[in-house]
A and B are shown apart, each in its own frame.
Chain A
Amino acid sequence: TQLLEQSPQFLSIQEGENLTVYCNSSSVFSSLQWYRQEPGEGPVLLVTVVTGGEVKKLKRLTFQFGDARKDSSLHITAAQPGDTGLYLCAGAGSNDYKLSFGAGTTVTVRA
C-alpha cells in the first residue's frame, strides 16, 4: 500500500513550459525525498526536505515541503527534454528506516 499519492500520473508538455507535480499523504513524515528515474535505471536522488514549509531550489527545479510535513510539490521552470523521466517522492517517519515511495509521475517533455 502506497502511503504517498502522486498527481498527475502522467504529464506531457512542450519544451519551455512549466510544470508542477504533487505528492500528498495523510501521514506526517520526518523527511521527504524526490527522486528521478529513467528507463532501465535506478532512481537518483534530487533533493531531501526536512522542515515544514521548506523550499529548496536546484537550478530550474523548486521543491516545497508542506507546513504540516504531509505533502510536497516539485515545480520545473522552462522544462527541457532532459527533464523527461519518472519523478518519485518518498517519505520516512521519524523512527522508520524504510522509505515509502509514491507511484510516481511520468513526465515527458517534447522538443
Chain B
Amino acid sequence: GAGVSQTPSNKVTEKGKYVELRCDPISGHTALYWYRQSLGQGPEFLIYFQGTGAADDSGLPNDRFFAVRPEGSVSTLKIQRTERGDSAVYLCASSLIGGPGTGELFFGEGSRLTVL
C-alpha cells in the first residue's frame, strides 16, 4: 500500500484477554516503530525494529507486551492478560533508513484498544 496500514482500527476486549495488533509498513522501509498514545498525551515509545530484529525494546512496559517482525516487513504487537490501563491508541511507524535523527517517520492511523 501507499502508507502504513494498521489493523484492526478498533478493538474492544475484556480484561484478561489476549490481543494482537498488526502493522504493515511502507514497502522497502527497514525500520519499524511501535508507539502508544493515551488521551491528551504524546506518543510513548514501545519498541523499534531494524529489519527482523528488535533493536530497542526498552519502552515495553512489562512482559505482557511482545512484538515480532519475522520477515522484516509486517509486525505484530501482542498483549497478554490485558488490563484496563492498556487502553490507548497503538501507533505504528516506519522509516526508510532507521534512526529518527535523520529520517522521517511515517505513521499509520493507529489501532484503538479499549479494555473493559
**What count of chain A residues pass the 8 Å CB interface test?**
27
Q: Given A98-B33, A99-B45, decide whether A42 and B100 contact each other with a Cβ distance below 8 A.
A: no
**What count of chain B residues pass the 8 Å CB interface test?**
30
Q: What sequence of 0s and 1s flags, for each residue 29-48 of chain A, a beta carbon within 8 Å of any chain B beta carbon?
A: 01101000000111111001
Q: Given A2-B42, A98-B56, A103-B42, decide whether A30 and B101 contact each other with a Cβ distance below 8 A.
A: yes
Contact check, A41 vs B109: say whether CB atoms are below 8 A apart: yes
Interface of B is mostly: loop
In order of increasing CB-CB distance, the 6 nearest A-B pairs are A42-B107, A101-B42, A31-B101, A99-B100, A98-B45, A92-B101
Q: Show the binding face of B for A, using Cβ within 8 Å.
A: 4, 31, 33, 35, 40-45, 48, 50, 55-56, 58-59, 91, 93, 98-102, 104-110
26 A–B pairs (Cβ distance < 8 Å), ordered by A: A2-B41, A2-B42, A30-B101, A31-B101, A31-B102, A33-B105, A40-B109, A40-B110, A42-B4, A42-B108, A42-B109, A44-B107, A88-B43, A97-B31, A97-B56, A97-B99, A98-B33, A98-B56, A99-B45, A100-B45, A101-B35, A101-B42, A101-B43, A101-B44, A103-B41, A103-B42
